């Protein structure tokens, strides 16, 4: 059993001194990036910096959420092949509390911001809204008053706390159970994980859907789309699969996953990426198509605004770059099994996922004409927030990674996963 042997050698010692250094560097980069972002929030246009931070935050969070879904899917379907891949995803779910802290800084900032300086305009009754081409305050907005039983500051904060409570709670239980199994080899932990996943997948579906509605869709609270939560889920799954491929191939490169993460695992991840590429396109198109077909001004303006200035080209870039290119590319067998080719398309997908978030989040602030206030663009504050939150995520990942075995060595399905075959 050559595979079993390589798992044993890969399991105990990984990382070492250089990994500790990288963890420390990640923390420094993370704190520095967030400090620069915080300066930007007060020194530059706060709404632009805040939206840029929200984009970066949602980018990293979506990767963690997608992996969280995948972990639960593996447990629920008693999947054999994915057992070795599960461990890095479990480490990645440690990012939730840190993302939560950054998120609540944005919420607190928006609650106390001056008029028209917060992210969620409905939070302050004095903020300006554009209604049918005329400006008014939130307090004068009849639509807001109808939505206010749900969309008010106290309930928003309560819900956000609940979402993060679910993300952190369920992910922590699953992670701890998996780590405990490494130590005592008790097969019962697998059953524990399965039971928690059964409840967790429902909680995850609800919390991720409502979180995306609350945090992203209400940025422009006049607009509504019932498929928005599914769009966010599909986007998260694509980002998570792409990130999983990159992390696993990095671990192969470092020698930790050498002989553990094989061509057949890469092929499965590539196939899932193809499936979710089609799923994302199906959802994104459905949203556009239903709004286009119904042709009701209440909702069409959201897309009309996104035909303004550079946003038109961003929309087309998403259509071709986020769907057609990965779709055609991933249809080919060789592109799914050669590491170099998979790295290319995974970086590509992550880049367009980020662009997708810009497309959804940045044009939400409206000028007096009702058109987007901000044209598409990336500034240094965006980069600082992206690198800063990324650094914190990397640090959190390393924090968990360094204390544990590289793969779930005593999982009942580990041998099946190591011997996985196309």
Q: Is 312 in the site for another protein (CB under 8 A)?
A: no
What is d(CA 40, CA 154) in angstroms, rounded to the nearest whole number?
27
State which of residues 8, 134, 142, 293 lies at the interface with another protein (CB under 8 A): 293
Contact by Cβ (8 Å): 245, 272? no
Nearer to another protein, 77 or 292 (CB): 292
State which of residues 8, 149, 295, 296 lies at the interface with another protein (CB under 8 A): 295
What is d(CA 190, CA 75) in angstroms, rounded to the nearest whole number?
8
Stretch that binds another protein, among 40-48, 130-138, 237-245, 282-290 (CB under 8 A): 282-290
- Taking the complex as a whole, the smallest distance from the CB of residue 71 to another protein amounts, in Å, to 27
Q: Is 320 in the site for another protein (CB under 8 A)?
A: no
Nearer to another protein, 288 or 348 (CB): 288
Contact by Cβ (8 Å): 103, 409? no
Q: How many residues bind another protein (CB under 8 A)?
A: 10
Residue 53, CA distances (Å) to 60, 98, 214 in order:
11, 14, 16
State which of residues 289, 312, 313, 320 lies at the interface with another protein (CB under 8 A): 289
Q: Is 2 in the site for another protein (CB under 8 A)?
A: no
Number of helices (H), then strands (E), belonging to the chain: the values are: 17, 2
Q: Where are the alpha helices (DSSP H) in 93-223?
A: 96-112, 142-147, 153-184, 188-215
Q: Is 43 exposed, middle or buried (0-12, 13-18, 19+ CB in 10 A)?
A: exposed
Stretch that binds another protein, among 21-29, 287-295, 302-310, 370-378 (CB under 8 A): 287-295
- Taking the complex as a whole, the smallest distance from the CB of residue 399 to another protein amounts, in Å, to 38
Quick count: other Cβ atoms within 10 Å of Cβ 277? Answer: 26
Nearer to another protein, 21 or 331 (CB): 331
Contact by Cβ (8 Å): 230, 283? yes
Nearer to another protein, 281 or 398 (CB): 281
Q: Is 333 in the site for another protein (CB under 8 A)?
A: yes
Nearer to another protein, 176 or 263 (CB): 263
Residue ranges that bind another protein, judged by CB under 8 A: 285, 288-289, 292-293, 295, 331, 333, 421-422
């Amino acid at each position: 059993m050559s595979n079993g042997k390589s798992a044993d050698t890969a399991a105990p010692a990984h990382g070492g001194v250089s990994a500790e250094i990288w963890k420390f560097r990640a923390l420094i980069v993370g704190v520095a990036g967030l400090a620069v972002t915080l300066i930007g929030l007060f020194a530059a246009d706060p709404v632009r910096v805040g939206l840029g931070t929200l984009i970066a935050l949602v980018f990293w969070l979506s990767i963690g959420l997608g992996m969280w879904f995948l972990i639960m899917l593996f447990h629920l379907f008693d999947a054999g092949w994915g057992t070795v891949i599960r461990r890095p995803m479990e480490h990645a779910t440690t990012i939730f509390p840190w993302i939560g802290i950054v998120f609540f800084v944005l919420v607190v900032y928006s609650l106390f911001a001056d008029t028209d300086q917060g992210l969620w305009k409905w939070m302050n009754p004095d903020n300006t809204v554009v209604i049918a081409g005329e400006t008014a305050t939130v307090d004068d907005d009849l639509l807001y008053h109808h939505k206010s039983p749900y969309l008010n500051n106290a309930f928003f904060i309560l819900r956000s706390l609940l979402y993060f409570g679910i993300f952190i709670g369920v992910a922590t239980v699953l992670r701890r159970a998996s780590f405990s199994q490494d130590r005592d080899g008790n097969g019962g932990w697998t059953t524990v994980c399965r039971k928690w996943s059964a409840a967790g997948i429902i909680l995850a579906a609800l919390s991720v859907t409502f979180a995306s509605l609350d945090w992203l869709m209400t940025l422009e609270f006049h607009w509504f789309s019932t498929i928005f939560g599914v769009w966010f889920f599909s986007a998260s799954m694509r980002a998570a699969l792409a990130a999983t491929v990159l992390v696993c191939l990095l671990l192969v490169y470092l020698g930790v996953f050498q002989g553990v993460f094989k061509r057949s695992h890469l092929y499965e991840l590539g196939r899932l990426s193809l499936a979710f590429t089609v799923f994302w396109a199906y959802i994104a198109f459905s949203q556009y198509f239903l709004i286009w077909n119904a042709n009701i001004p209440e909702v069409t303006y959201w897309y009309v605004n996104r035909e303004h200035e550079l946003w038109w080209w961003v929309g087309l870039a998403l259509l071709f770059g986020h769907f057609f290119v990965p779709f055609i590319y991933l249809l080919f067998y060789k592109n799914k099994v050669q590491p170099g080719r998979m790295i290319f398309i995974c970086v590509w997908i992550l880049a367009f996922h980020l662009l997708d978030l810009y497309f959804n989040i940045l044009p939400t602030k409206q000028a007096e004409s009702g058109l987007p206030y901000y044209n598409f663009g990336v500034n240094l504050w965006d980069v600082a927030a992206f690198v800063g939150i990324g650094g914190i995520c990397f640090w959190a990942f390393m924090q968990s990674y360094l204390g544990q075995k590289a793969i779930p060595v005593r999982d009942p399905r580990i041998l099946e996963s190591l011997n996985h075959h196309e």
